[in-house]
């Protein structure tokens, strides 16, 4: 028999350019801040809603508070104008996550990022070595690999098919075009070709779990291998055989169990 359902809370976080929508799942009887909560950072087309039931399952399996938020311009958060800056991955950790920490009371945290959110989570761990007690990357990119760019080009063609942008609009409303264009234009811009986490990963000293699908269409195994080679702390690499870019949706029970096992040893 399952235990009590977690407490679900929606909070709006003030941002210089508007507001950020957040949702948290807190285990029944848990005390805020103990143990360290898990902060979810979504991918290039993601949102709180697109995590689906993963946050609640993670909360139940780990006994930790889980927080998801819509990045500026995504989901229910305030719109964002113009193209993303070239340093948008580092900037998320530098400017947005501090607002979440301050307004949601996150003294310590475990950063968990999917895809580009994984790169943002890496920056969080590098920037706050005392506060970030653990890092989980799922399908994260470390460099602008040609396989990544090919995957984006293929997705660009798919989104030209009837109904595809409308499907994205279910989660982003009238910002769907901006969300899609920001992803494609940023990654395919020649100026972004030199982007890399190679200089950031050596600053990560906390324990790391790097999850990657064996058939990820947006990145080869080179990415988790680089994470393992360059981080100065302990790294556990898990290759999910047969999985593509979204293992937490393709094999949710296994991914939740992996993460629960990993965070069990963390404060």
Residue 116: pLDDT over 80: yes
Tell me the Ramachandran region of residue 163: left when phi exceeds 0, alpha when psi lies from -120 to 50, beta otherwise: left
7-263 CATH, one of 3.30.230.70, 3.40.50.150, 3.20.20.70, 3.40.50.1820: 3.40.50.1820
pLDDT(114) > 50: yes
Task: Report angle CA 112, 152, 96 to the nearest 5 degrees.
Answer: 35
DSSP 8-class letter at 82: S
Report the pLDDT averaged over residues 72-89. 95
Mean pLDDT across the chain, nearest whole number? 95
Judged against a pLDDT cut of 50, whether residue 1 lies above it is answered with no
Edge to edge, the sheet with strand 132-138 lists 7-15, 18-26, 66-69, 38-41, 109-114, 132-138, 208-213, 235-240
Q: What is the pLDDT of residue 175?
A: 93
pLDDT, tens digit, for every residue of 27-56? 987 766 579 999 999 999 999 999 999 999
Predicted pLDDT of residue 30: 74
Kindly indicate the confidence band of residue 66, based on its pLDDT and cuts at 50, 70 and 90.
very high
Average pLDDT of the residues in 139-147: 97
């Amino acid at each position: 028999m399952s235990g009590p359902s977690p407490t679900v809370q929606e909070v709006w976080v003030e941002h210089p350019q508007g507001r950020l929508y957040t949702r948290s799942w807190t285990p029944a009887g848990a005390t805020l801040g103990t143990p360290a909560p898990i902060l979810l950072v979504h991918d290039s087309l993601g949102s709180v809603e697109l995590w689906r039931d993963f946050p609640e399952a993670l909360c139940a399996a780990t006994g930790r508070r889980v927080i998801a938020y819509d990045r500026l311009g995504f989901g229910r958060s305030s719109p964002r104008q113009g193209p993303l800056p070239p340093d948008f991955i580092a900037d998320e950790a530098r400017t947005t996550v501090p607002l979440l920490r301050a307004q949601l009371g996150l003294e310590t945290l475990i950063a968990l990022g999917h895809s580009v959110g994984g790169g943002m989570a890496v920056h969080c761990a590098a920037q706050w070595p005392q506060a970030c007690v653990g890092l989980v990357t799922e399908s994260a990119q470390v460099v602008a690999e040609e396989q990544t760019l090919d995957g984006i080009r293929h997705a660009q063609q798919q989104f030209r098919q009837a109904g595809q942008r409308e499907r994205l609009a279910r989660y982003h409303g009238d910002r769907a075009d901006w969300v899609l264009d920001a992803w494609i234009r940023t990654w395919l811009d020649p100026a972004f070709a030199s982007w890399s986490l190679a200089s950031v990963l050596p600053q990560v000293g906390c324990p790391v779990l790097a999850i990657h699908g064996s058939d990820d269409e947006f990145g080869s195994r080179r990415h988790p291998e680089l994470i393992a080679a360059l981080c100065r702390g302990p790294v556990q690499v898990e290759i999910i055989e047969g999985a593509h870019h979204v293992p937490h949706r393709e094999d949710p029970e296994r991914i939740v169990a992996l993460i629960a096992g990993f965070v069990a040893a963390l404060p």
